[in-house]
Structure 1
Amino acid sequence: MSEAAARSDGVRRANLSRVLRLVHIDGPQSRAALTEATGLNRSTVAALVGELVEEGLVEERAPDSLGRVGRPSPVVAPDGRVVAIAVNPEVDATTIAAVGLDRRVIARDRIETDGPPSPEETAQLVSAQIAAWREGPLRAARIEGIGLAVPGLVRTADGLVRLAPHLGWVDAPLRDLVAAATGLRTVVGNDASLGALAEHLFGAARGVDDVIYLNGGASGIGGGLIVHGTPVGGAGGYAGEFGHNRPGIATGTDRRASDGVLEDEVSRSRLLAAVGLDSADEPTLAAALTAAASPPVIDEVARQRRILVTALANAVNVLNPSVVVLGGFLATIAADAIPALLDDVRAQTMPSVADALELRLAVLAEDRLLIGAAELAFADLLRAPSPT
């Protein structure tokens, strides 16, 4: 291939990626809208869409012509039959979902376990679930890959889980184990970082360039950062471990763990104990806390809020975000107190740092980590949708 031909092919591939990413992130759009968004001419967009249709990545639909003048432009939508398998192993259950390129959660299952699964058990759970779904909801699907959202330190270079303390994993080659068990391309990331990505692309932080995301799960509290519109992973991919910071606790009676870190004090397990549950998914815990009217439950929620506020103030002082997003059980305890919590955060930050700060709840709810894991699995496809 000549240098000029190689350049032309590179431009074509980049434009294919632009078009596919637009309909994936922003949803179905007319060819006319894609022409305006890309700045390309109509014939070029038509050719690109045609190639993506041939690749089975998008589909064209008849537009709604009601009330329109002239010939309406066809609507281009991501093909929902292209799917990623998203996995979130936790201490009490492993959640597995099939997420379409159109962002629909096609299937999901929460497999409860007596204790944390081993990496090998996780790989087998994923393999068995995919095999079952291939005979059912994924019979006609094209599985692009598997993304795992793990509550721990994940080395981004090779998907090695360096440490997931609540799962008991140390230097677990999770990517390789799952890939071997399923025969599918596999990628691994930190759960909270993937939650941040999902909320930034599709949820509460959409369109916001500077974001702190805190995720409260069964394994503790993790976080993700978006700075100037770009996810920040740190040198090894381990950035965002807010749960291991030590916030100041102003009132000694609020402390529950001697020399404990944030996730020892602001804890899902303490909330479960307060409402008398051994295990629960997010909606069940939220409903139990809402229904509880006893002073011990009310006091525990208030205690956790006070400590969370100080942790948030520390993070805001350092990073000066526009928005802080809370997910998981953190969203549950903050849901009916956002204005008061924001006032308390501002009271503990430097003047002006939090003047324009917004505190928001994750809007993707219990799907946020799964959608983030699916984005990780879709990343190569979105970057290079045409085969070499």
Structure 2
Amino acid sequence: MSTSPGTAQGPSPQGTERVRGQNLSRILTLLHRQGPLSRAELTRLCGFNRSTVGALVSELAQLGLAYETEPAAARRVGRPSPLVHANENVAAIAVHPDVDAVTVGLVGLGGKVHRRIRYDAGSLPTVADTVSISRSVVEGMSSELAAMTLIAGIGAAVPALVNSNDGTVLLAPHLNWSDEPLAAELSAGLGLPARAANDANLGSLAESLFGAAVGESDVVYLNGSASGIGGGALVGGVPLRGATGYAGELGHTVVNDAGSLCHCGRRGCLETEVSLSRLLAILGLEHADQDQLEASMAGNSSPELVAESHRQLDLLAAALTDFVNIFNPGVIVLGGFLGVLHSFVPGRLEAAVADGAIGGLGAEVRIRRAALGSELLLVGAAELVFAGLLADPSSAGALPAGVQAWLPASAGEVLPASAGEAVEVPASARGHRTD
């Protein structure tokens, strides 16, 4: 029977399905970013009615993405609303290659880091080394992996210019990588979908979701690691990408015209003058992550360390003053060894930036240490994986259910945890691992 033009029609099945998917995404994203919420809070935040929230929560639970617990006893009349949690056992494998180490983590929804292992490399890791180390480390996580509900994929945070569409590393000068298909290699080596992006941008994202920049719309973020200094900026709540997606090379701000030669060809870049390697040399250390660096610097009042810390902080302040003048951020977040430096001499950065920025802007900006510490880049890398799951929670049904489903037993691949065989790490990358 035909329908006349004036007859009202209900939504199409495709339209209904699309709306349902958007509603599932809204609920799961709130749980992922804000932590456990009651059904009543979800109703208020989403504007849905109670029955709709109940149905959506039930569907997320069936997909294995959420679960409910009874709330703590409350002194009020009526039955309290159950707490809904994003399932932290829905996880991503996070990989962070750097010049001195490859760090691998298992990160669950909500930013929960189940395990972090740093493998100190004996030399610059190649892409092949990075894949082999990651496979070996993942196999060592067999007990944690076996407890996971779902491994959704691999995310890599790289100190490099990265094509975020296909995960190709266009240029990583410190690693000596060029046009390397890192995401494709990780995917082939571990049997999971993989994505890659610039480490500083991912660190900025992680701090804005879970750390020192939550709720802030104008942020400058700087991360310092063995490979140098990367950065990112959030302007009006929008990440600054640039015309071709590579904005944020803040480490190449010149702070000393007569300084050391930088790999970019100029002298006195921020990442050349403010350097982890200079601190490690004074401390007599070959390698150190930020936790080890902080432990070594704590209470150390040697004149050489104090002088070098003051020198680096003053040069960092000069760069931050420029960033305040350019971006007018409300918050500056310092990650990696920059956060350790900031804590080593409290107040020095704030005083210098307050004196140097125009129009009193320096006195208004807040300078904070990254809250996620040594887990920062792993949490950021995991967001690459979770982005697709949050946008389309129903896609979880198409992903492998459990670690045994994706650990291939063929030669040269990662073996199932029960096999107990470790993957050989290439001699060129041999070092030692620290949990």
Q: Confirm or deny a common fold (TM above 0.5).
A: yes
Query: Match of 2:119, SS?
Result: strand
C-alpha contact 2:313 2:348 (8 A) present in aligned 1: no
C-alpha contact 1:148 1:373 (8 A) present in aligned 2: yes
Query: Match of 1:209, SS?
Result: coil
C-alpha contact 1:58 1:79 (8 A) present in aligned 2: yes
Query: Match of 1:236, SS?
Result: coil
Residue 199 (str. 1) matches residue 199 (str. 2): no
C-alpha contact 2:199 2:230 (8 A) present in aligned 1: yes
Correspondent of 1:354 among 330, 353, 362 = 362
Q: In 1, distance between residues paired with 2:323 and 2:40?
A: 43
1:28 aligned partner: 36
2:426 aligned partner: none
Q: In 2, distance between residues paired with 1:128 and 1:383?
A: 31
Residue 170 (str. 1) matches residue 147 (str. 2): no
Residue 63 (str. 1) matches residue 71 (str. 2): yes
1:114 aligned partner: 122
Q: In 2, distance between residues paired with 1:352 and 1:376?
A: 38
Over aligned residues, Cα RMSD in angstroms? 1.6
Q: In 2, distance between residues paired with 1:346 and 1:337?
A: 16
Q: Larger radius of gyration, structure 1 or 2?
A: 2
Correspondent of 1:132 among 130, 140, 150 = 140
Q: In 1, distance between residues paired with 2:344 and 2:302?
A: 17
C-alpha contact 2:74 2:80 (8 A) present in aligned 1: no
Q: In 2, distance between residues paired with 1:340 and 1:114?
A: 36
Q: TM-score, normalised by structure 2?
A: 0.85
Would the alpha carbon gap of residues 302 and 99 (structure 1) be closer, same or farther in structure 2, given more than 3 Å must change?
same
C-alpha contact 1:127 1:181 (8 A) present in aligned 2: yes
- CA deviations over 1:20-63 (Å, ceiling 9, x no partner): 00011000011001000000000000000011000000001122
2:348 aligned partner: 340
Q: In 2, distance between residues paired with 1:232 and 1:186?
A: 24
Percent identity between the aligned chains? Answer: 46
CA drift of 1:171 comes to: 0.9
Within-5 A mapping of 1:367-386: 367-386=375-394
Correspondent of 1:182 among 172, 190, 213 = 190
Alignment size in residue pairs: 382
Within-5 A mapping of 1:34-73: 34-73=42-81
Residue 234 (str. 1) matches residue 236 (str. 2): no
Residue 328 (str. 1) matches residue 362 (str. 2): no
Amino acid corresponding to residue 140 of structure 1 in structure 2: A
The higher-RCO structure (CA 8 Å, 6+ apart) is: 2
Would the alpha carbon gap of residues 80 and 156 (structure 1) be closer, same or farther in structure 2, given more than 3 Å must change?
same
CA drift of 1:234 comes to: 2.2
1:10 aligned partner: 18
Amino acid corresponding to residue 339 of structure 2 in structure 1: A
- CA deviations over 1:163-195 (Å, ceiling 9, x no partner): 111111111110110011111110101111111
C-alpha contact 2:29 2:390 (8 A) present in aligned 1: yes
Q: In 2, distance between residues paired with 1:341 and 1:222?
A: 18
Q: In 2, distance between residues paired with 1:293 and 1:343?
A: 21
- CA deviations over 1:190-226 (Å, ceiling 9, x no partner): 1111110111111111100000000000100000111
Correspondent of 2:109 among 92, 97, 101 = 101
CA drift of 1:67 comes to: 2.1
CA drift of 1:338 comes to: 4.4
Q: In 2, distance between residues paired with 1:125 and 1:207?
A: 37
CA drift of 1:357 comes to: 0.8
Q: Which moved more, 1:120-129 or 1:347-356?
A: 347-356
CA drift of 1:336 comes to: 4.3
2:307 aligned partner: 299
Residue 151 (str. 1) matches residue 159 (str. 2): yes
Q: TM-score, normalised by structure 1?
A: 0.95
Q: Which runs of 5+ in 2 are unaligned?
A: 1-9, 399-435
Q: Which runs of 5+ in 1 are unaligned?
A: none
Amino acid corresponding to residue 295 of structure 1 in structure 2: P
- CA deviations over 1:112-137 (Å, ceiling 9, x no partner): 1111210111112222322332x311
Q: In 1, distance between residues paired with 2:318 and 2:110?
A: 39
Q: In 2, distance between residues paired with 1:359 and 1:174?
A: 34
Amino acid corresponding to residue 325 of structure 1 in structure 2: V
Q: Which moved more, 1:305-314 or 1:350-359?
A: 350-359
1:364 aligned partner: 372
Q: In 1, distance between residues paired with 2:294 and 2:276?
A: 11
C-alpha contact 1:338 1:360 (8 A) present in aligned 2: no
Amino acid corresponding to residue 137 of structure 1 in structure 2: E
